[in-house]
Amino acid sequence: MSTTFAVIKKCKCGEIKDKIEIAHRSGQGHGKPVKIKWLHPFVDVLRNNRKVYPTDNTNQGVYNVGDLRKLYNRYKNGVKK
């Protein structure tokens, strides 16, 4: 199952100004590897607690940038959870 995640940029009035896709999650999970592909170069400057929103599926347990980084590091290091 795959999901694309975005951060939401709001204007001062609180309305959504822009939705910026930052990562794509693919793979089954459930003990099998999950791959994270970064889609935007500014992801390095985002705080771990920055909320992310799924754009084309459910969140699958990912709620913020820190969750995406954990999955990425597990994939990079060959851990299967």
Report pLDDT digits (tens) over 29-67. 666 778 899 999 999 999 999 999 999 999 989 999 999
Domain limits at 69?
Answer: 3-76
Domains in the chain, number = 1
**Inside any domain, residue 25:** yes
For residue 24, tell me if it sits in a domain: yes
Residue 72 scores a pLDDT above 70:
yes
pTM reported for the whole predicted model? 0.83
Separation between Cα atoms, residue 50 and residue 41, nearest integer Å: 16
**Residue 50 main-chain phi, psi, to 5 deg:** -70, 120
User: Is position 65 within any domain?
Assistant: yes
Among left, alpha and beta (phi > 0; psi -120 to 50; other), residue 79 is: beta
Task: Confirm whether 81 is domain-assigned.
Answer: no
In the predicted structure, residue 80 carries a pLDDT above the cut 70: no
E-assigned strands of the chain?
3-10, 16-26, 35-38, 53-54
